Amino acid sequence: MIRVVLAARPTSRASAGMRAYTRALLERLPRVAPDVELVPVTSPLVLHPLALRTARPQLVHLPYLEAAPLVPRPYVAMVHDLIHLKFPHLFSPATAAYWRLAAAPLYRNAARVLVSDERVADDCVALLGLARERIRVVPLGYDEAIPAAAPCEAARPYAFYAGNHAPHKGLATLYAAWAALPEEIELDLVLTGRDEPAVRSKYVRKNGAIAFLGELDDAMLARRFRGALAYVQPSLAEGFGIPILEAAAAGTPVLASTSAVPALVAPFAQTFAPGDASALAALLAALARDPARARQRAAEGAAALRAYTWDRFAASTAAVYREVVCP
């Protein structure tokens, strides 16, 4: 039995994707890797290093950025993305400085560095100077209930976006593309997250409206994926982009910026350059005029991506544990 301590301390910096990562490990790994005992440690920040040591692990798994000198070794560390280093101007000076000072020593001292996509592996080599042979690519997963969900019924076809509204998500590109659609195309734009009245008043169409839905539970999120004419991810960068995989697994056409789409979904997505609202508008218009063709391609993608579940992710992560503890 391999005893692995998961540093699952809640943090305000954890995105929905990061929380899904930790939750999937805790829920799925006991089933797919019975030889691994995964012990979560959720102590407050000031007590966290001591709690990790007290748990007497054979290996520590860090799903978030931690203070490297205080982490017991050996450990594996997950790099969700390096957006703070690629686009420091989008964050506060303190946040950008924290990443510059903390990220490199933490990841350089890891026994293995985990990433979810080849793009992040490349960033780790370029921005952190990590050796590629110490990096392991473990794709994330999707909820198997999504493809079976009943599609959400809507008065008009809609394009869908799920995620936060941070600057690097590129939502201004999505708003501009939607507003520039030919007048005869009926298409709503539906997004998760808080309402933004200024956006709704600025971007107006005769045959469509923008709607912000707040936070959706898993069941309604699945229905929204299934009912959408297209799922759109206009980000400047993504670590993996779980909603992209979820939409593709649901059989929904995916439109994504070239810097956002994960490698395993890329063959089945239609892409555009980050920030190119005109190109995105053209893709949306073409899809709205011939949805059947896009659906056929999306169905092929859903079939090809069926294996990329959270169970597969957990099993692949356990294989990295074994590689470190039992070389």
**DSSP assignments along 123-175, one per residue:** HHHHHH---GGGEEE----B-TTGGGSPPPP-SS-EEEE-S---GGG-HHHHH
pLDDT at res. 72 = 83
Tens of pLDDT along the chain (327 residues)? Answer: 999 999 887 665 677 888 899 999 999 999 999 999 999 988 765 456 677 777 788 999 999 886 556 778 899 999 999 999 999 998 888 888 888 888 888 999 999 999 999 999 999 999 999 999 999 999 999 999 999 999 999 999 999 999 999 999 999 999 999 999 999 999 999 999 999 999 999 999 999 999 999 999 999 999 999 999 999 999 999 999 999 999 999 999 999 999 999 999 999 999 999 999 999 999 999 999 999 988 888 999 999 999 999 999 999 999 999 999 997
pLDDT at res. 185 = 97
pLDDT at res. 100 = 84
Question: Are residues 171 and 60 part of one domain?
Answer: no
* Dist CA 231 CA 162 (whole Å): 8
Question: Are residues 135 and 215 part of one domain?
Answer: no
User: For the domain that residue 234 is a member of, what is the CATH number?
Assistant: 3.40.50.2000
pLDDT at res. 47 = 54
Question: Are residues 258 and 169 part of one domain?
Answer: yes
pLDDT at res. 71 = 78
pLDDT at res. 124 = 96
Q: Evaluate whether 288 touches 185 at the Cβ level (below 8 Å).
A: yes
pLDDT at res. 55 = 75
Question: Are residues 174 and 252 part of one domain?
Answer: yes
Question: Are residues 319 and 299 part of one domain?
Answer: no
Work out the angle at residue 290's Cα, subtended by the Cα atoms of residues 286 and 295, and round it to the nearest 5 degrees: 105
Question: Are residues 295 and 152 part of one domain?
Answer: yes
Question: Are residues 110 and 241 part of one domain?
Answer: no
Question: Are residues 153 and 86 part of one domain?
Answer: no
- List the structure tokens of 47: 């007590």
Question: Are residues 82 and 214 part of one domain?
Answer: no
> Domain residues for 248?
146-304
Q: How many domains does the chain have?
A: 2
Question: Are residues 316 and 242 part of one domain?
Answer: no
pLDDT at res. 8 = 83
Question: Are residues 313 and 250 part of one domain?
Answer: no
Q: What is the DSSP letter of 71?
A: S
Question: Are residues 71 and 195 part of one domain?
Answer: no
DSSP string, 106-137: HHHT-SEEEESSHHHHHHHHHHH---GGGEEE
- CA 172 to each of CA 14, 190, 234: distance values in angstroms, whole numbers, following the listed order: 23, 14, 9
pLDDT at res. 7 = 86
DSSP string, 216-268: --HHHHHHHHHH-SEEEE--S--SS-HHHHHHHHTT--EEEETTTS-TTTGGG
* Dist CA 225 CA 163 (whole Å): 13
